[in-house]
Amino acid sequence: MSTVVIVGDVGGCADRLAAVLPALAEDPEVTVIQVGDLVDRGPDSAGVLKLVGERLRESPARWIQLIGNHEAPYAGLSDPFWPEPLDDTDARRIADWWLRDRMRVAAAVRTARGEELLVTHAGLTVESWRALGGPVTAGTTAELLNTRPDDLLRSLRGPLWAEAGPDLYHGWLTGTEFPPFGQVHGHDTIVDFGRREWRCAERLRQRTTVDWDARHTTTMIKRMPFVGVDPRHGTTGAPAWSPLYLRDATVLG
């Protein structure tokens, strides 16, 4: 078994990604899953794409790149929405990764305890899970999502766009179904890490633990963990953060 490292949203902060890459690249037992939103907001989207391109070229089996909503316009999945579009070279790079299947929608991991986790950009809401037919394993769900169901990928409550509190957590918490597996996602968070404040209802706070230094949240919903890994780098990068390390874990599929 290897260590699976899940890297949250980078958002154009190339220096923050570069700071963690050497240790990840040097360890042959590490497989990285990056949850998308590589670009926009921060100062160096081109630098981020260059770093990821190097990993995809040099160690394609050890870097799993997921698509986020900020990559979606360049993959033809949404209209442009960010006020500062990428230059043509970087836009073509993302489009090429998507067309050549070097960028996925989802991945699945089996932890050291034998539990399965689904990894997507924004999480799989209960409505989206139903639309997939209610698959019972994270591995099967990732396979279905990687067929690129167009309606789900374009939906504002789908795995590229769902908001963590009102869409993802609240839906699973109040629905009649039990989540069949845990999830790891980026895109949104139910806390303000910088101010150490909550951004959610009390019923979610009671179910959530926060690693303020690593900038991760874990919300238990009907005994399943929903882990948020978006560090909210903003325009300049978080002063401290960490990827999520899953020791003795296996990527499924």
What is the C-alpha separation between 247 and 147, in angstroms, rounded?
29
How much is the pTM? 0.97
Q: Both tokens of residue 91?
A: 């836009």
Strands 2-7 and 182-185: unpaired
- What is the pLDDT, as a whole number, of residue 239? 93
- What is the pLDDT, as a whole number, of residue 47? 98
pLDDT digits (tens, 9 = 90+) for 160-214: 999 999 999 999 999 999 999 999 999 999 999 999 999 999 999 999 999 999 9
pLDDT digits (tens, 9 = 90+) for 117-171: 999 999 999 999 999 999 999 999 999 999 999 999 999 999 999 999 999 999 9
CATH number, domain with residue 57:
3.60.21
Residue type, 182: G
Q: Which domain covers residue 31, as residue numbers?
A: 2-252
Number of domains in the chain: 1
Strands 197-198 and 208-211: unpaired
